């Protein structure tokens, strides 16, 4: 699948398209590429034109070396540039983790592009406890220890049940560590910088499109209370809390059936054609 020419934001992005229908843009979180949406793409593509891309710093997209080249505003400009390059005037937009923060900035800077908004595992403001959790992810990367980073982040974003299941855990680790399109260490550090510097809390009330905010009740990296604050700040937003032993930051991976059902029901209620 194609990589864009260099966009107006200054980077080239790798993207894939699947299915047909109203466009649905998927924005992945930190240190992961668009393949982490694989459990959603098949279901979504049955009804939508799914556009999934690698953020700057991940996968096959450009990976600038300087941390200052990463912010949620810059990454939102990448997403806007991709939609413009594909001549998509309006799209459903879904973001997970860092991708949700990018989605916030996208709708705030380019509301014309966003028909509906999904924010999964999200936050709008920073706080010390959240900052400390994210900063803990930096140290293995500074040391060049990819496996150490993967172990550290898995404890924050996956359920204990998933991590303690050796077969599941080892299969995921092998897939990530063995990928020929791994994010660079500098790319991952840059994305964590974007995580740490995101702050849209004072502007969330400006969002006017239909919005779904979800959280996992055992998400340790981005606690549900931060997502609920986002939900409460956006007029008319809908809230969904995933519950149970596998309701982690990566509910899209761990409880795929429920995640897909909830998100597809939201999309079906808000077609672009009705906007």
pLDDT at 50: 98
Residue 78: its H or E element:
helix 72-85
Residue 191 resides in a domain: yes
Q: What angle do CA 183, 41, 233 make, to 5 degrees?
A: 80
pLDDT at 260: 98
In a domain, 57, yes or no: yes
**CA 268 distance to own-chain centroid:** 21
The CA distance from 107 to 91, in Å, is 11
10 lies in some domain: no
Q: Which helix (H) or strand (E) holds 74?
A: helix 72-85
Q: What is the distance, to the nearest Å, from the Cα of residue 13 to the centroid of all Cα atoms in its chain?
A: 15
Give the pLDDT confidence score for residue 9 in this predicted structure: 82
Instruction: Report if residue 2 sits inside a domain.
Output: no
Does 175 map to a domain?
Answer: yes
- The tally of domains found in the chain comes to 1
- pLDDT at residue 215, rounded to an integer: 98
Instruction: Say what the pTM is.
Output: 0.97
Distance CA 166, CA 192 (A): 27
Query: Would you say residue 7 lies in a domain?
Result: no
Asked whether residue 6 is domain-assigned, the answer is no
Query: What tokens does 43 get?
Result: 């279901």
Domain that holds residue 156: 15-274
pLDDT at 211: 98
pLDDT at 3: 73
Is the Cβ–Cβ distance between 20 and 31 less than 8 Å?
no
- The CATH number of residue 262's host domain is 3.40.50.1820
Residue 1 has what pLDDT? 55
Digit-by-digit pLDDT tens for the chain (275 residues) are 567 778 888 899 999 999 999 999 999 999 999 999 999 999 999 999 999 999 999 999 999 999 999 999 999 999 999 999 999 999 999 999 999 999 999 999 999 999 999 999 999 988 899 999 999 999 999 999 999 999 999 999 999 999 999 999 999 999 999 989 989 999 999 999 999 999 998 899 999 999 999 999 999 999 999 999 999 999 999 999 999 999 999 999 999 999 999 999 999 999 998 66
5 occurs within a structural domain:
no
Q: What is the pLDDT of residue 275?
A: 61
């Amino acid at each position: 699948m194609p990589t864009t020419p260099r966009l107006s934001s200054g980077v080239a992005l790798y993207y894939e398209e699947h299915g047909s229908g109203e466009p649905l843009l998927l924005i992945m979180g930190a240190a992961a590429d668009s393949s982490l949406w694989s459990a959603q793409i098949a279901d979504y593509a049955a009804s939508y034109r799914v556009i999934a891309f690698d953020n700057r710093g991940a996968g096959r997209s450009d990976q600038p070396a300087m941390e200052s080249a990463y912010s949620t505003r810059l990454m939102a400009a990448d997403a806007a540039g991709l939609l413009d390059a594909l001549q998509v005037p309006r799209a459903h937009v879904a973001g997970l983790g860092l991708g949700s923060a990018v989605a916030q900035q996208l709708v705030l800077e380019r509301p014309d592009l966003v028909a509906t908004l999904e924010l999964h595992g999200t936050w709008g403001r920073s706080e010390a406890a959240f900052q400390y959790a994210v900063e803990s992810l930096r140290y293995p990367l500074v040391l060049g220890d990819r496996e150490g980073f993967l172990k550290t982040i898995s404890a924050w974003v996956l359920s204990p049940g998933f991590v303690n299941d050796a077969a599941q855990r080892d299969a995921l680790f092998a897939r990530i560590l063995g990928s020929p399109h791994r994010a660079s260490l500098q790319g991952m550090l840059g994305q964590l910088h974007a995580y740490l510097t995101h702050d849209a809390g004072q502007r969330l009330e400006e969002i006017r499109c239909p919005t779904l905010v979800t959280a996992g009740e055992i998400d340790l990296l981005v606690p549900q209370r931060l997502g609920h604050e986002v939900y409460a700040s956006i007029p008319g937003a809908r809230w969904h809390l995933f519950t149970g032993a596998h309701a982690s930051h990566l509910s899209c991976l761990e409880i795929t059936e429920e995640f897909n059902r909830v998100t597809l029901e939201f999309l079906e209620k808000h077609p672009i054609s009705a906007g």
